[in-house]
Amino acid sequence: MKFLNPLRQAVLLKRYKRFLADVQLVNGEVITIHCPNTGAMTGCAESGMKIWMSDSSNPKRKYRYTWELAQTNNGDMICVNTHRANQLAGEALDSNIVPALSDLANLVAERKYGYDNRRIDWCAEDAVGQTVFIEVKSVTLAEGAQGFFPDTVSKRAVDHLRSLQDMKSDGHRAVVLYVVMHEGIKNVQAAHHLDAKYAAMAAQAEAFGVEFYALSCDISEHGITPTGLLPMNK
């Protein structure tokens, strides 16, 4: 995934009201930009961080710029725009980067499924004609080299795991694909210490046959490239 237009650099002053951030431009001007991340953003939104933002070039938008990237003090790049995860997952699936999902065909985004018409991020068919449902999750919480999901309590993420188990019960393949958007993360696991219900449900789903994979990415101000798989810790 390449950024269509050059990103603009700034320094983060503060993130607030979930969707807003104040930043200081290179020329010293302070502006408010859109933050496309509803999570806790622990370690990703510290005052003084170098950040990059995209320009909508839309004069009708209240906040012209969207926060895309941040950089930690030790130089690790982070993509804070969670909307990028689905796009990166699609590129990885198209490029056969995930070996267990390398035989997929008829890849479709945002397919509805089940009694409540829940949207699944990606749907495809494998080589034996089995339907494969793929739920994508963005991972940015790093504690050392260990990555965790979620970064705060997430009832929605628990509900997604229940839906995936339903899909498995109906005879389909069901997959959770963690897209790791923090270059410092080398392993991924459920965040037992932040959301015990999610961690328990993830263990139950895996035992039920739901597949879990973690995708690494190279991140720069020019673009983001899926590169391969990271280990999944219990």
Q: For residues 205 and 118, which has the higher predicted lDDT (pLDDT)?
A: 205
Burial class of 155 by CB neighbour count within 10 A (0 to 12, 13 to 18, 19+): exposed
pLDDT of residue 114: 67
- Quick one: what percent of the chain has pLDDT higher than 90? 92
* Single-letter amino acid code for the residue at 196: A
Tell me whether the omega of the peptide bond preceding residue 226 falls within 30 degrees of 0, making it cis.
Answer: no
pLDDT of residue 73: 94
Token pair, residue 172, equals 């389909």
pLDDT of residue 233: 86
Instruction: Give me the mean pLDDT over the 180-198 stretch.
Output: 98
Q: What is the pTM assigned to this prediction?
A: 0.95
Token pair, residue 216, equals 């690494």
- Quick one: what percent of the chain has pLDDT higher than 70? 99
pLDDT of residue 59: 82
pLDDT of residue 110: 86
Taken in order of first residue, the domains within the chain and their CATH numbers are 8-79 (2.40.50.580), 84-230 (3.40.1350.60)
Lowest mean pLDDT among 21-25, 110-114, 155-159, 197-201: 110-114
Q: Assess whether pLDDT exceeds 80 at residue 200.
A: yes
Instruction: Give me the mean pLDDT over the 62-68 stretch.
Output: 97
Closest CA to 234 of 189, 180, 179, 178: 189
pLDDT of residue 118: 76
Instruction: Give me the mean pLDDT over the 27-44 stretch.
Output: 96
